[in-house]
Structure 1
Amino acid sequence: MFDTAVIFLVLTALMAYVNIRFIKLPTTIGVMAIAMGLSLVLFGLNHLGVSTLLEYEVSLLESVNFSEVLMQGMLSLLLFAGALHVDLSELKTLKWQIGALAVVGTLVSTFIVGYAVYFILPLAGVDIPLIYCLLFGALISPTDPIAVMGIVKKAGAPKQMELMIAGESLFNDGVGVVVFTILLAAATSGQAPDASHVGLLVAEEVGGGVVFGLLLGFVTYQLLKSIDSYQEEVLITLAAVLGGYALATHLHFSGPLAMVVAGLIVGNHGRERAMSQTTRQYLDMFWDLIDAMLNAVLFVLIGLEIVVIDYAPGLATSIALVILITLFARLVAVGAPVAMFNRVFRLPEGSWKVLTWGGLRGGISVALALSIPTGTERDIVLALTYAVVVCSIFVQGLSVGAVVRRAVHSRSA
């Protein structure tokens, strides 16, 4: 496992260098593009009879459980790092708006995508049960905070809009994971869960995750407050994240929500009252580096995963429609409410366009798709997920800055 980690780290470093030296795209997009390009070159060599390199890449990827690496490893660090720099006092002013988009918006999008895909796929000669279409809706509806936050910051969005997008993306993935878990249990058992079971699971995952995050954040804050040594304080935050996420998962609480809540507490109360200026400086540098490095590794993995995606016959013809469906669902679930109730959301006019187009999907969607039990349905869901994620990162990610300038800045000019 160590050798595999080293290989991916070296590949990521080389691709990041090539991107920053020659291509000059945002790092996450650049390394993903290079990784996909490398995979496509190996596909071409394979067709020419040189199959060794492609076989090695496939075996290397199969030795890595992408779903476990992200959901049980990277995600805790990335979510904590993202929440660490969100201003809690400003977030509180939008708590109801963010909560509505994260919960109601995710549910609405799940059902729009699920039912639309269920009726469209048969037109292309592809049939899968409705429950798997809803699973696809659940895993593709949440925006990925890992993909969203870095790109939106560089897009020049107004502070209030950036806060709304960041807050929604941090919380809606936790909601999406809970919905996905409920639907996956129904798909694997063959029985629809009853209302009491769903209510208990939601209370346990969501409520437990938030309460656990509050407790973890408070304990971490007290530990940081009691000493003044940046080495130990940085180590405490790292231990709190890795240990806290593992314990939350063991207790069947939502680890993602726990990390977001803990990150908000440490990043606000801890930064203001429990850290010296030196500690704040080193803590910020450490978590910024963790965020940048893990993001790069993650998007290299996503780019390389193209070699293990199995596209069923006829599926390619429906991919464009599925991509449009996910955008339409985002428009209905998030864009339309923001446009209609703009005074309630207190955002600049035109923000609905940015919120719709800036709803990027990323590694979390791919990881959830890979966690579905092996079978034809999994292959179809994974192929659709990968297509939407790739389109989201390359098309939306590269153009969201232009959307921000046209939708918002042009009105204020």
Structure 2
Amino acid sequence: MTMLQVTSLLIVLAGAFGAINYLFLRLPAAIGILVVALAASLVILGLDLVVPGFVFDDELRALIADIDFSEALLDGMLGLLLFAGALHVKLEDLRAEWVTVALMATIGVGLSTVIIGVGFSWVTGMPLLIALVFGVIVTPTDPVAVLGVLREADLPKALETKIAGESLFNDGVGYVVFLVLVGIAFPAGEALGDSSLQSAGLLFVQEAFGGALLGGVLGWLTFRVMRRIDDPSLEVLLTLGLAFGGYELAIWLHVSAPIMAVVAGLLIGEVGPKGGMSEETRRHVDAFWFMIDEILNAVLFLLIGIEVFAVVFSGDVLLTGLAAIALALVARLAAVSIPILILRPFREFANGTIPVMTWGGLKGGISVALALSLPDNDWKPLILGATYLVVVFSIIVQGLTVARLAARVSREPELDV
């Protein structure tokens, strides 16, 4: 199938599954599409087991292989999704929470990676370096999933900013750490030419700080151009060019494209309305990026649902996946609570910050894409299967209950935060 045919099919399916969810399930839109897509996929897999000669699942596997989920997300959709998410996070709000966000996106990512990696190595017998790669795959909270849930939950402003800001930045930091660890664990297959700590450190600095610098420069240049223009359609086009072109430029320059998209989105969202956009332009830009966000969310969650065809399940994979879910939750608790306990003597936190941020740290398509992008090796099927189970549990179980958890703990006296 051509790219246009594949894109058309995905949009049609996303619309159809979204309608099924709206009419019958009434779940949050993105989660509902995932549930319907996953259910349809499992029905097809079940028919393959009981109906002799059933070949439709083989055709779907071939189609999914043509889509290349990892490339579609990491080199295509991710830039738009991160830019759209950052565009609606107010820099003023984020500035008040920047220390908490920074600690969770750095120390938190490191702690979670190590806890999951060591535990997964112990459970499976996997070499520690490869297990650490799995740890960083399931560590980042997916901003797409998290920001979607925030729309449904009535959270205190400070807590909402912490969750949104951390999900945007730990995604970029996690991706950089993934590149470093893959380069060390699979030196012939990926980013690093050797496994020295010096090379790993240089790569991290180049990716993280280079991406932030590029996002700031491109965002500022775009803002300066927008100040001289009063044409809503053209200014929307400029923001789209910034998201698309900046992301591809970051990939070409070998700096972190996700961090570039987040920084550029934050800058345009902050300074644009104050001096670069008229009120009419601001409404156009907000409406455009809201629709882009909603459409790509729907397609992404559809892809996660049908990606089950790329996973080889067995009894061992299912048991390992359950262990991985437990490890991911324990690691998430440490990644949230330790930075908060460090800051606790110096500032106050809203009731229920630790439980809400722990349970609300949803995983998503980025984790699946990173697992699929691994070099072929004996452990890849197990990593992919465990990652998929962690993501599905996170989105469906945690995603559907975090709003109720937030409503309950926010009314209780502050005990643990």
Q: TM-score, normalised by structure 1?
A: 0.95
Give the direction of change, closer, same or farther, for the CA distance of 1:288–1:76 in structure 2 (3 Å limit): same
Give the direction of change, closer, same or farther, for the CA distance of 1:312–1:353 in structure 2 (3 Å limit): same
* Contact 1:338–1:345 (8 Å) recurs in 2: no
Q: Distance in 1 between matches of 2:364 and 2:169?
A: 15
Confirm whether residue 272 of structure 1 aligns to residue 274 of structure 2.
yes
Q: Distance in 2 between matches of 1:377 and 1:314?
A: 13
Deviation at 1:132, TM superposition (A): 1.5
Aligned to 1:402: 404
Aligned with 2:313: secondary structure?
coil
Aligned to 1:252: 254
Q: Distance in 2 between matches of 1:398 and 1:347?
A: 24
Deviation at 1:213, TM superposition (A): 0.6
- Percentage identity across aligned positions? 41
Confirm whether residue 18 of structure 1 aligns to residue 16 of structure 2.
no
Q: Distance in 2 between matches of 1:232 and 1:325?
A: 48
Aligned to 1:96: 99
Q: Distance in 2 between matches of 1:65 and 1:265?
A: 32
Aligned to 2:88: 85
Aligned with 1:193: secondary structure?
coil
Q: Distance in 2 between matches of 1:346 and 1:8?
A: 45
Q: Which of residues 368, 371, 381 in structure 1 aligns to 2:370?
A: 368
Q: Distance in 2 between matches of 1:341 and 1:186?
A: 33
**1:10-409 alignment to 2 at 5 Å?**
10-47=12-49, 48-49=51-52, 51-122=54-125, 128-189=126-187, 193-338=195-340, 341-342=343-344, 344=346, 346-409=348-411
Q: Distance in 1 between matches of 2:314 and 2:187?
A: 25
* Contact 1:204–1:253 (8 Å) recurs in 2: yes
Q: Distance in 1 between matches of 2:315 and 2:248?
A: 40
Q: Distance in 2 between matches of 1:318 and 1:273?
A: 53
* Contact 1:342–1:349 (8 Å) recurs in 2: no
* Contact 1:110–1:134 (8 Å) recurs in 2: yes
Q: What stretches of structure 1 of length at least 5 have no aligned partner?
A: 123-127
Q: Distance in 2 between matches of 1:130 and 1:214?
A: 37
Pairs aligned (count): 407
* Contact 2:107–2:339 (8 Å) recurs in 1: no
List, as ranges, runs of 4+ consecutive aligned residues in structure 1 with deviation greater than 6 Å: none
Alignment deviations for residues 253-295 of structure 1 (CA, whole Å, 9 cap, x no partner): 1111111110011111012211111111111110000000000
Q: Distance in 2 between matches of 1:87 and 1:380?
A: 40
The amino acid across from 1:407 in the alignment is V
Moved more, 22-31 or 41-50: 41-50
Q: Distance in 1 between matches of 2:100 and 2:341?
A: 13
Q: Distance in 1 between matches of 2:349 and 2:248?
A: 37
Q: Distance in 2 between matches of 1:284 and 1:195?
A: 43
* Contact 2:187–2:195 (8 Å) recurs in 1: no
* Contact 2:218–2:264 (8 Å) recurs in 1: yes
Q: What stretches of structure 2 of length at least 5 have no aligned partner?
A: none
Aligned with 1:189: secondary structure?
coil
Q: Distance in 1 between matches of 2:286 and 2:346?
A: 33
Give the direction of change, closer, same or farther, for the CA distance of 1:171–1:71 in structure 2 (3 Å limit): same
Give the direction of change, closer, same or farther, for the CA distance of 1:92–1:117 in structure 2 (3 Å limit): same
Alignment deviations for residues 171-191 of structure 1 (CA, whole Å, 9 cap, x no partner): 001111111101111122279
Moved more, 226-235 or 270-279: 270-279
Deviation at 1:192, TM superposition (A): 6.9
The amino acid across from 2:54 in the alignment is S
Moved more, 82-91 or 344-353: 344-353
The amino acid across from 2:395 in the alignment is I
Q: Distance in 2 between matches of 1:312 and 1:108?
A: 30
* Contact 1:335–1:355 (8 Å) recurs in 2: no
* Contact 1:144–1:363 (8 Å) recurs in 2: yes
* Contact 1:369–1:382 (8 Å) recurs in 2: yes
Q: Distance in 2 between matches of 1:99 and 1:337?
A: 9
The amino acid across from 2:113 in the alignment is T
Q: Distance in 1 between matches of 2:244 and 2:326?
A: 37
Q: Distance in 2 between matches of 1:337 and 1:247?
A: 34
Q: Distance in 1 between matches of 2:95 and 2:230?
A: 29
- Give the aligned CA root-mean-square deviation in angstroms: 1.5
Deviation at 1:338, TM superposition (A): 2.1
Aligned with 1:376: secondary structure?
coil
The amino acid across from 2:142 in the alignment is D
Q: TM-score, normalised by structure 2?
A: 0.94
